[in-house]
Chains A and B, each alone.
Chain A
């Protein structure tokens, strides 16, 4: 094997550039910058769509704020006061101009600046999403590994039965069942309401557990099924698994060091695709458990036609979705040595 050695060519890379240059030239950084730039039209598009849809549904904030007894004159005055008499294009451009400078506007209904309102609620939704995410993956991985360790045995069959059930039931049904059992029947957890972290971690978690489980359970079922299937495919169909077994290493080592490492890419893809589901679920679940998060805020704002607040919520969701997908793509490169971003 003296014939071809492509790596001999690497000798020219010996002149080491400075750290700053290396960071600036790093393909990952270029990916990040490119993707963040690409996110701008996405977010503008999303906010524009939201604006159009909100303009199309009947009723406006002034009408809803004043109630059904208000005279047309009062409504008209209120409309003018809120700036809703401006042409839609004008209103959207005004909002967009503010948003680009970091000012997401003032709520039409509460007259509070939207940014400060969002800040508080972002924490609640963030905690909910984070908990649900950790729980779904944190349980799915060990369960899938145990199931794949001995396919078609008791543990595998029971876990697959549970996950099929979980996939067939919507998260709000699970939420209501959880409330019925753990909050009404046995009063372990509060049925509704939010306890901020400042009142102690234990109490805070007690108020967040049922909502987080409601979101996490269907995802847990999906991830478990997916990962278990992928692991079994790797174990039964891949040559490198046979190599690993032929070395004489134990079955757990084969499963963890070889199969799981290769199955993690597929899992990452599925988790990335489900981030939208994860975030979207908060809208309903926050409503059921009366959690003061962004999802609840958005729903209220839609009901009062408070387009400024709706726009802000939608933008926040869009930004989170874009960032989450970016992180997913960057993680591929960490997990899979064959993927290196850039045009090398």
Chain B
């Protein structure tokens, strides 16, 4: 995507003010089983406006996936969820399953990481799409077929008439992910959550799928939450970026602001760990030493403190609050970076 295009996208979004499509406030998720308590999400808040793409970035176990599944009521029964998540003003958390079902697919849809495992291996592609079409609204077989064809063309799956009758194992990874997107779009959702949707794909296919998502967002005007561990992906495609660590947001800003002046040492460490062509060949990749904290016993201070090159004594006593230090730019750090671009 060119810089002009990016600027244009940002401009469109600036107008999109007013009521947020999704408003998450102090979302907390913990899992309890046999006395063990895992604090997966610890107070996550953000707003998402129509037509925007929000990237939630973090490593495994940072709570990015769990937080979005909590919105759709897709977590197992052992999950304890608190806080608030309003979709178009309506509270999603705590809804009984019967009511939650009306939102799933129709308002919020999801595309998952591994398309090989996310499609039912025993069902034909067509049946899996028409099932999603017919889940919302009274659609007869013929109309569901027409709609499925329309969706398959929308996601640009080659030879849709034949693919309709095939099984997932007969498709390539990229084609399967296109089918997953078609399923997600079946009931015209206003929000699409792409949970590591391109991670399992090779780089070329990954770019194709991301371009497809962008194009679909423009055509259908939906909002997208892009969940990924890949900051580069966020820099290229997202309007806004949340960086999560140990179940909480540590930095949040529009992508252009964030990548112009990274403040959170953790974000900087992530950026530094991306391999770059400019670097001399065979030079070691800078990695952050240590491990993310144990989610069953979070420290009193900043969770990143043990690994942080900028840590000082005050980091250990109390976790830094997550506040808006500059207009639109939030972070949780007592000793932020100077804000030089990487």
Contact = CB atoms under 8 A, between A and B. Distances in A.
Contacts of B172: 1, 4, 6
A54 B75 CA distance: 62
B76 interface: yes
Contact of B123 (A4, A236, A257): A257
Contact of B158 (A5, A236, A253, A258): A5
A173 interface: no
Contacts of A261: 120, 122-123
A243 B204 contact: no
A2 interface: yes
Given A5-B159, A243-B180, A247-B183, A335 B122 contact: yes
Interface in B142-191: 156-159, 162, 166-167, 169-170, 172, 174-175, 178, 180, 183-184, 186-187
Interface string A259-272: 00110000000000
Nearest to B133: A247
A266 to B, nearest CB: 12
B117 A248 contact: no
B15 interface: no
Interface stretch (B25-33, B84-92, B106-114): B106-114
Contacts of A338: 121, 167, 169
Kindly name the residue among B72, B102, B131, B162 whose own CB sees the greatest number of chain A CB atoms within 10 A: B131
B1 to A, nearest CB: 19
A337 interface: yes
B101 A248 contact: yes
Given A1-B178, A2-B158, A243 B208 contact: no
A240 B169 CA distance: 13
Given A240-B117, A337-B167, A248 B180 contact: no
A7 interface: yes
Interface size class of B (residues with CB under 8 A): 35 or more
B135 interface: yes
Given A246-B72, A248-B103, A338-B167, A1 B157 contact: yes
B118 interface: yes
A85 interface: no
Nearest to A265: B122
B316 interface: no
B175 A1 contact: yes
Interface string A204-248: 000000000000000000000000000000001011101111111
B109 A246 contact: yes
B158 A336 contact: no
A239 B186 CA distance: 19
Nearest to A246: B110
B17 to A, nearest CB: 29
Given A239-B112, A251-B97, A246 B123 contact: no
Interface string B53-69: 00000000000000000
Nearest to B169: A338
Contact of A239 (B102, B103, B117): B117
A130 B16 CA distance: 68
Interface in A305-344: 335-338
Given A251-B97, A257-B131, A243 B106 contact: no
A3 B204 contact: yes
B135 A249 contact: yes
A250 interface: yes
B204 A246 contact: no
Contact of B121 (A5, A253, A337): A337
A3 B206 CA distance: 13
B329 interface: no
Contacts of A246: 72, 74, 104-105, 109-110, 184
B156 A337 contact: no
Interface of B: 72, 74, 76, 97, 101-106, 109-110, 112-114, 117-124, 131-132, 135-136, 156-159, 162, 166-167, 169-170, 172, 174-175, 178, 180, 183-184, 186-187, 204-205, 208
Given A242-B74, A257-B120, 19 more contacts: A1-B156, A1-B158, A1-B208, A5-B158, A7-B166, A239-B117, A240-B117, A240-B118, A243-B180, A244-B120, A246-B109, A247-B104, A247-B131, A247-B132, A247-B135, A250-B101, A253-B131, A336-B122, A338-B167
Interface of A: 1-7, 236, 238-240, 242-251, 253, 257-258, 261-262, 335-338
The 8 closest A-B pairs by CB, nearest first: A248-B105, A248-B104, A239-B117, A247-B132, A337-B167, A240-B120, A239-B118, A248-B135
